Amino acid sequence: MTTLTAKLRDWQLALPLALAFAALFLAPLLLLLGVTFFNDDRMTQPGLAQWAKFFGDPFNYKVIADTLLLGVKTVAATLIVGYPLALVFVDLSPRWQRVLLFVIVMPLLLSVVVRTFAWIVVLGHEGLVNTLLLRLGVITEPLKLLQTELGLVISLTQIEMPLMLLPLISVMSRLEPNLRDAAAALGASRWRTLFTVILPLSMPGLVAGCLLVFASSTTAFISQTVIGGVRLIYLPLVIWQQSLVVFNWPLAAVASMALLVSILTVIAALSWLGRRASGAVHG
């Protein structure tokens, strides 16, 4: 039963947030957009020169593509190891769930500053992984892990794991446990139950997790530059160089807009998929 007043009331719930956003986010964002329309870094001549410069350089397209691809790879890696962990989580007794929940949020308790150092320790030339593999005789020369995209994705997987798992777990633990038993009783294999029952029903949490991981990994400037090194160039590095090193704010603003729009496009697509999936669940 939805009356007009009820509709109005629903909308009003989001009003305080909308107002805060207008005052604290949209206004600075518009200012940033305004900055892009200046040709020079001292912001005296209006014009579109910085847009032309950014989008006229094919190198920047590669950077945008690499940035989005990094997000996709991180989402994939996080999902592949994270989803099974969530499956294990919901099967545990409440006591063990408590323990595992604590373990899952641990990456968030490490400051980014010391976390990146820890990854240098793990992935480095003389790091844990290389030492272990050399001792075991699997390799004879240290592997190059630090300053590669592989190493970067591994390290991002760690910090993004809570972002994937928290929404996923909060949705999955609300699923009816009987569902799975029912599926099993009907003779479905566990794989089949996973793909036809659990996965579709956990879609809202999965999509929320993917969104957070994608957004957070594509903008993770410190991890990208410290662990990935500066031979792997992603947009946040370009934005940092332009805004904080050469002070060309119009160009930095254009790059920010490019990043914002390209990530939002991906997110909008993901959201749409998620909505369709959850729409299918609730009919």
Partner 1 sequence: MFTRRRMLAGATALGGAALLPGIAHAKGSVTAAIYPGTWEDAYRAIVMPALKKTYDVDLELQPLFAVDEVAKAKAARGAPPFDCFVLDPGPRITAIEAGLFEKFDGKKLSNASKVPSAFIDEWGICVGAQVVGIAYNPKKLPRPKGWKDLLTDPWVSRLGITGFQTTFGTVSLIEIAKQFGGSETNIDPALVELKKVLSKIAAVGQPAAMPGLFQQGQCDVMYTNTQTVATLKGKGVDIDFVKPDTGAVAFYTTLHIAKGSDAIENAYKYFDTVVSTPVQEALTKAPYNFLPANKDVPIPPDLPMKSLDEMSTYVLHDWAKINPLRAGWIEKFNKEMAK
Partner 2 sequence: MGRRRSFSDIGYSFVIGGLALLALVIIVTPVVVVLAMSFGEGQSLKFPPTGFTFRWYAELFDASQSRQIHRAVGNSLEVAALSTLFGVLLGALGALGLSRSRSKAARLGESLFMSPLVLPGIAFGLAALMYFTFIGLRPSLGLIVAGHMIVTVPFILRTTGASLSQLDPALNDSSQSLGAAWLYTLRRVTLPLIAPGIAAGAFLAFMSSIDNVPVSLFLSTARTDMLPIRMWGMMESSLDVRIAAISGVLIAAAFVLMLLMEWTVGLTRRMRD
* Window 155 to 194, contacts with partner 1 (CB under 8 A): none
Binding mask 234-273 for partner 1 (x = CB under 8 A): ---xx--x-xxxxxx-------------------------
CB atoms within 10 A of CB 185: 9
In the complex, least distance from residue 10 CB atom to partner 2, rounded to whole angstroms: 4
Cα gap 222→226, rounded to integer Å: 6
What is residue 194's DSSP assignment?
A: I
Q: Restricting to residues 244-263, which ones interact with partner 2 according to CB under 8 A? A: 244, 249, 252-253, 256, 259-260, 263
| 38, β-bridge pairs | 46
Q: Which residues of the chain form beta strands (DSSP E)?
A: none
In the complex, least distance from residue 166 CB atom to partner 2, rounded to whole angstroms: 4
> Is there binding between residue 28 and partner 1 (CB under 8 A)?
no
Enter the tokens of residue 34.
């305004």
Binding mask 31-60 for partner 1 (x = CB under 8 A): -----------x----------------x-
Contact 134, 165 (CB under 8 A): no
Our CB check for partner 1 shows the closer of 98 and 144 to be 144
Stretch that binds partner 2, among 44-52, 57-65, 136-144, 203-211 (CB under 8 A): 203-211
Q: Restricting to residues 101-160, which ones interact with partner 1 according to CB under 8 A? A: 116-117, 120-121, 124-127, 146-147, 149
Stretch that binds partner 1, among 18-26, 74-82, 185-193, 227-235 (CB under 8 A): 227-235
Contacts of 146 (CB under 8 A, 6+ apart): 119, 120, 123, 124, 125, 127, 227, 229
Give me the phi and psi of 46, to 5 degrees please: -70, 150
Our CB check for partner 1 shows the closer of 95 and 231 to be 231
CA angle 129, 132, 133 (to 5 degrees): 85
